[in-house]
Chain A
């Protein structure tokens, strides 16, 4: 069996599956249950400074976007950092780490953006025996209005500055959690590493309003008729997170720097995808809030089997393997010609490929033959856009197949085995 052991910036855990700083890691009771279920580590729910803790609303904190089957696709929350006292949390962290020495316990922290505040909390956290700290620069709601969370994460200079304070006043490894509510994710990532951070984690949640209650004419769900934007997460945000992780993974300034990936991870496959794009491990939240801690069993088993199948002995064998294949658009091979092909054996004649192509794309799919429904691609019109593949309800019924010889029936241009991209294309005004 493949070895799932994970060493992330010196923090060891039996597997790369951690729970993200969030409600599931708010107290010892939950964390102990998570460890019993098999989670490799947790990032303890964000601690604030000493004194009276924050308060949460007493109405709905969560909202969701479901598909027709009530499968939870996207999730929104307006919960704040821990609303329990610092002392209670520190005591519990100490005990949990004692009970579970082989698991990773990282503590998320968010205090006001001044050196004194950070300097005072860091030793307290270090005393717990925790393995590292994660700086919450991502929370987009409630805390950011108080100059914390995303308010810091959106200013790269602050990100670097606080990372530097933490490295200065603590010997623990420092992970900087990034907000996706920013135009260029590479800027805060670069700043974090410049400030001395050991790793970044991303994405935190995305600013969101989950829906509007058209009777109340207020965001849904609402608190006494009013709503506030929250943070979006769950399966729907995975593609955004994958992209942001890949941007940091392939950025020259942060290339091969440690990344802990977060964003819609539900299965071993999701995790493997993030890791292939350069993440050293992953953090999960919405999936356990939907299904409970037990899902880690599938993640462990699934990833091990896949690694065995592929011949990977350790997770390090495949981390980052897909990074070189993420390129800018101008480096895509314009001589690669592909055409959609519909398998008539498995086609169920729903006609979705036809109407999608006919109404919205290139009019390249027939709808009938001899008066009977019949869906077939006309190569002379097909641009290989993949829309039909995506809308077909039957898996693998429509495939995009590369042409390797002859002429492209659409353009009449002979198929060339040569790689050629936009940077040398005659239509590119920058060429010559």
Chain B
């Protein structure tokens, strides 16, 4: 390594082949044979624990049985009847903490059935069949506005489009998909799958997306509420949290989600600058995603610094192992104190942490300094209330408050996904919110909601 800052953050650390290899799909598609063998392992449980564990309650034993007998498209139908984004969920769901964690094989000391990979096998077969799979009844004349073209809105829109309603989605960015398109690790969803899936969803017809349209700037909630029969808000979390440490403004310090968004949109991974010594602050999925991808981009050393232990990490054991096997170091029980450097960060001072007698996390006073020429914050996102300021919508825990049917305090406004209180930062949970809201909106429109 060179001296001083002549190295540091730079692009093109690897050759083209290495980038391609590093960012190849984490779990390649199952072959017909492997899918059949894996499907045959399923016990076809009664009252299946996997289905109970799935936020969208996919009839997992049924779709796996269909795969086992060679009815691949029938399997896909079973999946998307519960979860229109079943293809993406198959790729990015933390199955190890959801369906697969509940698989009864585990109770027997065996590996869980690979539900996620089977789900992908099934849904891959219909990704181009969106138009023929769904038919719309006669138009109802009801119009619904949705804000944000992420998983929650897409699921909600698809459900309602299938009932003949007309949906307009207002999206702040220039592409649909939300975090499916701009978040997530690139190696989990390759080949522009997010866009293919959005096309699959839109193929039903009756859903229009207006891009580059920002709530609070180009449109207001009051206007939407006034001009549409119902409104669904699925705007996610737009703000990031700051570390609140000295030196946080130094160059080389940024938000993981911003970097990932750039990475996901990049046609040329070699153009992405990455440091010698990357440090990630955080313990969730995003921390793992940015750490592993930094490593895959050629960073020399990548360290995740997390203030508690492995059990408390938001990232699953599987994700933690994924980081470790990719050469990422995970430092537990440390919190950032100070970013050090002239104009750009060069090292990071950490303090060791522990629980005090009351179970409160405290610094021990012991400090350590690690090299850091690139520092990513991955300590979670916050809801930005600016777009709905003065809308009079009830809030809870800093996010939009909704009831069990995803209805907000406003007469014809629903909300779901990460932007609502209790939002889980999971695609599959957002899809479920969209489903739940759609049922409620549908009921509302039937019983003569405002027009």
Contact = CB atoms under 8 A, between A and B. Distances in A.
A310 to B, nearest CB: 30
Interface string A59-80: 0000000011110000000000
Interface string B15-48: 0000000000000000001001101110111111
B43 A68 contact: no
B254 interface: no
Contacts of A68: 36-37, 39-41, 68
Contacts of B37: 68-70
Contacts of A69: 37, 40
Contacts of B162: none
B43 A373 contact: no
B386 interface: no
Contacts of B45: 349-352
B108 A394 contact: yes
Interface of A: 67-70, 348-352, 354-355, 367, 373, 393-394
Contacts of B36: 68
B43 A354 contact: no
A352 B46 contact: yes
Contacts of B43: 350, 352, 393
Interface string B287-301: 000000000000000
Contacts of B33: 70
SS class, residues of chain A in contact with chain B: loop
Given A68-B41, A348-B104, A393-B108, 17 more contacts: A68-B40, A69-B37, A69-B40, A70-B37, A348-B107, A349-B45, A350-B43, A350-B46, A351-B47, A351-B48, A352-B45, A352-B46, A354-B46, A355-B46, A367-B47, A393-B43, A394-B108
Contacts of A393: 43, 108
Nearest to B40: A68
Contacts, number: 40
Contacts of A349: 45, 49, 104, 107
Nearest to A349: B104
B82 to A, nearest CB: 20
Contact of B44 (A70, A352, A367, A394): A352
Interface string B433-451: 0000000000000000000
A117 to B, nearest CB: 49
B127 to A, nearest CB: 25
Interface of B: 33, 36-37, 39-41, 43-49, 68, 104-105, 107-108
17 contacts: A68-B40, A69-B37, A70-B33, A348-B108, A349-B49, A350-B43, A350-B45, A351-B45, A351-B48, A352-B44, A352-B45, A354-B46, A367-B46, A367-B47, A373-B47, A393-B108, A394-B108
A118 to B, nearest CB: 49
A111 B389 CA distance: 98
A348 to B, nearest CB: 4
A431 to B, nearest CB: 42
A70 B47 CA distance: 28
A354 B44 CA distance: 12
Nearest to B68: A68
Nearest to B44: A352
B108 A373 contact: no
A220 to B, nearest CB: 14
Contact of B40 (A67, A350, A367): A67
Contact of A350 (B39, B41, B68, B104): B104
Nearest to A395: B108
Contacts of A373: 47, 49
Nearest to B110: A348
A95 B210 CA distance: 87
Contacts of B49: 349, 373
Contacts of B40: 67-69
A69 B42 CA distance: 12
B62 to A, nearest CB: 13
B104 to A, nearest CB: 4
A351 B61 CA distance: 12
Most buried by A among B47, B68, B105: B47
Nearest to A353: B46
B56 to A, nearest CB: 20
Most chain-B CB neighbours within 10 Å: which of A68, A367, A394? A68
Contacts of A354: 46
Nearest to A356: B46
Contacts of A351: 45-48
Contacts of A70: 33, 37
A367 B47 CA distance: 9
- What 5 pairs across the A-B complex have the smallest Cβ distances? A68-B40, A351-B46, A348-B107, A355-B46, A348-B104
Tell which of A70, A348, A373, A393 has the most Cβ of chain B within 10 Å: A348
A423 B43 CA distance: 42
Contacts of A350: 43, 45-46, 104
B278 to A, nearest CB: 43
A355 B44 CA distance: 11
A355 B46 CA distance: 6
Nearest to B109: A348
Contacts of B68: 68
Most buried by B among A69, A350, A352: A350
Nearest to B41: A68
A349 to B, nearest CB: 6
A405 B59 CA distance: 45
Contacts of B48: 351
Contacts of B108: 348, 393-394
A79 to B, nearest CB: 28
Nearest to A67: B40
Contacts of A367: 46-47
